[in-house]
Each structure stands twice: as C-alpha cells, then as structure tokens.
Amino acid sequence: MANLQGLSDKADALEYKQMQELGDLVIHRSAINKLADGEWSDGTEFKMAGPAPALMGEDHRLPEMPEKPSLIDFFNFRFAPSKQHLLQSAALARKNGLPEKMVLACLLHDVSVIALFRPDHGYWGAQMLEPYVDEEVSWAIRMHQALRFFPDESVGYEYPVAYANWFGQDYKVEPYVQRDYEEARNHKWYMSARMICVNDLYAFDPDTQVVIEDFEDIIGRHFKQPEEGLGNDNSPAAHMWRTIRRPASAL
Ligand SMILES: [Fe+2]
Ligand SMILES: [Fe+2]
C-alpha cells in the first residue's frame, strides 16, 4: 500500500508539473470521444488543424510510462481506479480455486471498460489480448459479455439484479448477443466464459484493496509480455496499447 501511495503522490506531482508544461498545445479529441458526448458533427467539411501546435505522442498530463511498458505498468499508470473490479474478480477466482489461466482471464475480463471502450467491451478486450494470452482466455473474455445476460442454474448464476436496475426489467439483448450466447453455449470452452461471469458477479467490495503485484507470478507465467514493451511490438493489437498510452495524440 505504501508503495502504491508513493506512486500516486509521484503521479500527482508529475501531473501538476506537466499540466503547466502543456502550454498552448492543442488537444484534438478523437471522434469517438465526441460521439460519446453526443457531439455528432463538428462542421460539414474536413478541416486541417489550425496553426497552433498539436499534442503529438506522449501526453504529459498523464503519469509517465517506462519506455518498454509491461502489463503491470499499464495497470499502474493508465488503467482507471475502477480496475479494482478486475483485481477483486481475480482474487475471488483464485480463492475459488480456478486454474491460473482463468484467474488471468478474470483479471483482464473488463480491460476494455477500464482502459478503452465500454460498448462491446468483451470483443475489444479479447482483441487487445489475443496476441498475448492463451486462445481460451481471449475467447472467454469475448464471450463473457453475452453470457452475462443469461442465467445458468447449474453453477448458480442468475441474471444480475444490477442489470434489471440499469437497463430496465424489459431489456432485451441485441440479436448478435443472443447469437453469440447460443454459439458459446455449445462451445468446448463455455464453462471458462461462464466462470468469468460467476467470479464477476460478487467482485465489488469497497473495503478491500487488491494490488496488481499480487498477480505478478500468474502474469509472468501466462501473459506473453513482449520484450520491447506493450505497444512497441508489432502484434496485431500493439496499436491499441499505444492508443491507451497516448490517448490524445493528434494522429
Ligand atoms: Fe464485463
Ligand atoms: Fe466485470
């Protein structure tokens, strides 16, 4: 904890100093961010940016990342504090005796919600992780999104009460969610995706703080960390990690 507090203090000090240094750099927000704010149009024509210099590359308002960032660095320097949901899910999975590979799946199941996009988070998360984890892990992460909406009495999984509150009693899933649920239901790895849901459901505890370092051993054995750093490699998902590292880069 002391270590984390130190990191947090350092990050705060750094953020303050570097906010001052950002000067007049213009930040060009990505279209997806504007759309999410309900801003559909910023004019009818494509315009080149004005003469003011744009922020390109590292965003010094955010904590500085090592040159060759690891998954743990992304947890510490980019993933939002709500990552505690991931950490607690993984801790629960470990307590419940799941295999290490599945503890990793629980640790990363909502990585897209925490760091990238909420819509279709299972699909985005799976794509981010595919080059670095066992195929079963990324498949389970993709499919947990659909399975969350469907009960399975055999493992005591019920439709989440929270979903009824958030989406309404009459909420019906989109056709692709129904389709993917049916595909997953008959798949050899069905229970792996289902186990994410089972360990997801009771994972929030405001009195518990789990740290990523608790999973260093499991990450070491089951996450294929590229030597050159996540994002510096040339995997099909490297660009996604670079975007999380430098989310405001103009291009
Ligand atoms: Fe999820
Ligand atoms: Fe979750």
* Structure-token pair, residue 22: 């950002």
Q: Which ligand sits closest to the CA of 122? A: 1
Q: Give tens-digit pLDDT for 83-118.
A: 999 999 999 999 999 999 999 999 999 999 999 999
Question: How much distance in Å is there from the Cα of 67 to the middle of ligand 1?
Answer: 30
- What is the distance in A from the centroid of ligand 1 to the CA of 98? 18
Q: Is 102 helix (H, G, I), strand (E, B) or coil?
A: helix
Ordered by where they begin, the domains of the chain are 12-64 (no CATH), 71-238 (1.10.3210)
Question: What average pLDDT does the segment 219-237 reach?
Answer: 98
Report the separation in Å between the CA atom of 144 and the middle of ligand 2, taken as the mean of its atom positions.
9
Ligand 2 centre and the CA of 166: distance in Å?
15
Per-residue model confidence as pLDDT tens digits over 165-222:
999 999 999 999 999 999 999 999 999 999 999 999 666 778 888 999 999 999 999 9
> Cβ(137)–Cβ(101) under 8 Å?
yes
Distance CA 29, CA 48 (A): 14
Q: Distance from the CA of 242 to the center of ligand 1, in angstroms?
A: 22
Tens digit of each residue's pLDDT (9 = 90 or more) over 25-78: 888 889 899 899 998 876 656 666 667 788 999 998 899 999 999 999 999 999
pLDDT at 207: 83
Q: What angle do CA 49, 51, 52 make, to 5 degrees?
A: 90
Residue 101 C-alpha to ligand 1 middle, in angstroms? 17
Rounded to 5 degrees, what angle do the CA atoms 122, 124, 130 make?
95
Q: State mean pLDDT over 221-236.
A: 98
Residue 167 alpha carbon to ligand 1 centre in Å:
15
110-148 pLDDT, tens digit per residue, is 999 999 999 999 999 999 999 999 999 999 999 999 999
Which ligand number lies closest to the CA of residue 86?
2
pTM: 0.88
How many angstroms is it from 64 CA to the middle of ligand 2? 27
